Amino acid sequence: MERVHRSFGKVDAVRTVTLKIEAGEIFGLIGPDGAGKTTLLRMLAGVIAPSSGRITIFGGTPEAGKRFLGYLPQQFSLYEDLTLRENLRFFGGLYDLDRGASARRIAELLEMTGLTEFQDKLAGSLSGGMKQKLAVAAALLHRPRLLLLDEPTTGIDPVFRRELWDLLYHQVVEGLTIIISTPYLDEADRCHRIGMLRHGRLTMINEDLAPAGRWFKMNSDADSRWPIWEWLQNRPEVAEVHFAGQHLRGLLHADSSWEDFVAATLEKHGRQAEATEPDLEDHFLLTAKEDGADG
């Protein structure tokens, strides 16, 4: 039973996105602000309609799919003047959970998120991380088959981030499909597949389709960094180069000579380029570059 979704554009925000996501996978959506990630997620959630094209969720429209869907928007969207339990009970009611099942499920989720002792406190009194966990609990209340998360860990400390991901992994193991948009590439790394959205256009980042050519890295210090960078920029055999922390990483064109390049770096800068395996950020930046001028 695949969850298939294909969607096309809502003009200006998301342009001609065609995508198919399998059940049980974690799909990551990365891209700069204003790229259309939130719009895409909202279309999937059935909150806004695409200007053209079709979205299919578990074989049906987003409207029909709402009862299988959980959604976590970017801002905290639960009620600060309600207690945790009141919040969860409310959302349970919206999804037609009956009393008994609802109470059990609420207790279960509070347990899972470690929020049981706060259940009668007002949601507004929680810290950012706890609020987010509550929001996740609310989204999981009705055992959705698909979970949409819009930058769920922005502004959350690393400890909470990890707890959140543990929670999510656990759900995926139980069959949940997740689409998560995130600005953090290390988070995107945890996804099965990643798509990059820029100016409304989607590019899949597929590491198997990595271009031929070898990746290199070069150490640098404060003084040498910029000269090296400039030099690399102007080298014909360098397809792409970027900063990674203190060092420089890049890709050589497939048909260029590795040895010549290494020798040149040693001669010019007194240090040599080393071979390396590309990581997600490398792919991301390369794809971003190849996307080229935007139109």
Partner 1 sequence: MWKRILSIAGKEFIHVKRDKRTLFIIILMPVVYLVIFGYAASFDLKNVPMAVIDHSNTSRSHLLIKDLIQSDRHDFVLYPGHPRTEKDLRRLIAENKANIGLIIPATFGEAVSFDNLPSITVFVDGSEPVIAQSNLRKIGLQVQRYAVKELFSDLLPIDTDSFLSLVKIKILYNPELRSANFMIPGLAGMILLFVASFLTAMGIVKERERGTLEQIMVSPIKPFELMIGKVLPYILLSFFDFLVILGLGTWIYKVPFAGNLALLLLGAVLFLLCVLGTGLLVSTIAQNQQQAMQLSIVTVFPSFYLSGFIFPLSAIPWSIRWAGYLFPFTYFLPILRGIILKGLGFKQLWMQLGIMGFYGVAIMVLASLRFKKHLE
Residues of this chain that interact with partner 1 (CB under 8 A) are 42, 45-49, 66-67, 69, 71, 73, 75, 77-82, 86, 90-96, 138
d(CA 139, CA 70): 5
Cβ of residue 169: shortest distance to partner 1, in angstroms?
Answer: 23
Cβ of residue 25: shortest distance to partner 1, in angstroms?
Answer: 21
Looking at beta carbons only, is 36 or 250 nearer to partner 1? 36
Strand arrangement, sheet containing 238-244: 238-244, 247-252, 215-218, 274-275
Cβ of residue 102: shortest distance to partner 1, in angstroms?
Answer: 10
- The three-class DSSP label of residue 118 is helix
Q: Tokens 């069959």 sit at which residue?
A: 175
Cβ of residue 95: shortest distance to partner 1, in angstroms?
Answer: 6
Looking at beta carbons only, is 90 or 229 nearer to partner 1? 90
Cβ of residue 73: shortest distance to partner 1, in angstroms?
Answer: 5
Looking at beta carbons only, is 80 or 186 nearer to partner 1? 80
d(CA 25, CA 227): 43
d(CA 136, CA 182): 15
Residue 88 tokens read as 């969860």
Looking at beta carbons only, is 66 or 249 nearer to partner 1? 66
Residue 276 tokens read as 């390396």
Amino acid at 277: E
Query: What is the dihedral sign for C-alpha 247, 251, 256, 257?
Result: positive
d(CA 240, CA 222): 21
End-to-end C-alpha distance for the chain, whole angstroms = 38
Cβ of residue 113: shortest distance to partner 1, in angstroms?
Answer: 17
Residue 12 tokens read as 């200006």
Looking at beta carbons only, is 47 or 254 nearer to partner 1? 47
Cβ of residue 37: shortest distance to partner 1, in angstroms?
Answer: 15
Cβ of residue 53: shortest distance to partner 1, in angstroms?
Answer: 17
Looking at beta carbons only, is 90 or 169 nearer to partner 1? 90
Looking at beta carbons only, is 55 or 205 nearer to partner 1? 55
Residue 153 tokens read as 């860990």
The answer to whether 36 touches 294, Cβ cutoff 8 Å, is no
CA 9 to chain centre: 20
Looking at beta carbons only, is 93 or 227 nearer to partner 1? 93
The answer to whether 164 touches 156, Cβ cutoff 8 Å, is yes
